[in-house]
Amino acid sequence: AVAASLVAIVATSSAVAAVNVERGLANIRLGITLEVTTALGSIAGALIASRVPGATVQLLFALMLFPVSVLMFLKGRGSLKKAAAQVLPAAKGASSFDSGFFDPALAAHTHYQVRNMAPASVVSFFAGSLSGLLGIGGGVVQVPVMNLLCGVPMKAAAATSNFIIGVSAAASAYVYFRKGLIPFELTAVIVVGVLLGSFLGIYALYKARSEKLQVLFSALTLLVAVKMLFKAL
């Protein structure tokens, strides 16, 4: 199931990333930088997957997601002063990771500055490890990292995360492929369903406001945390 999930993630990322890059939502420079540590973590997770108790990993993952869900909800509701979705003017000393995109929901061009790259790279390694261990895309970690830690608007964070997790999932999937653990029939069925859902997600990403996406993402993160907690207990 883990191997099939990873292949589905690769297929989804390949289909969606091209559209996001074309429309300027995905921050390529930021994505490539974080991808290095994410891919390394993904390979490490796949290699040690059979040696680490799954329940332990799921429990730690669930406990980490609960506060992340709360922070994302507060930010989406405007309870935090510096919302990542606000339009930021260009500033002196801006880094090479800073970018911007046209937001159809606001009918305006949103500029943003990227900060805290060092800690973000460390957390990205952890996100990649989760992808290899649990068969998840890592986006449930990558999106909050970029949004809360790096200050990337929600839409750009989601698009960049999709770009990142495809490569890291491919690295893990290759390890499972070499071990002969990929169920091809099941994988084909999953990929078809996931691709259909991904294109609906693209439409929602462009039309919805970032604040609403943050609240929705916090709810989904909470659901993942609860599911992982019950599976671990």
Mean pLDDT, residues 152-168 taken together: 83
Whether the model clears a pTM of 0.95, i.e. scores above it, the answer is no
As a whole number of angstroms, the distance between CA 212 and CA 69 comes to 14
Instruction: Inform me whether the pLDDT recorded for 24 exceeds 50.
Output: yes
What residue ranges do the domains of the chain occupy? 2-232
Q: Which of 183, 114, 175 is nearest to 150 (CA)?
A: 114
C-alpha dihedral (87, 217, 219, 228), degrees to nearest 10: -140
Mean pLDDT, residues 108-112 taken together: 87
Residue type, 140: V
pLDDT in tens, 202-228: 777 777 777 778 888 888 889 988 988
C-alpha dihedral (229, 78, 156, 23), degrees to nearest 10: 130
C-alpha R_g of the chain: 17
As a whole number of angstroms, the distance between CA 75 and CA 71 comes to 6
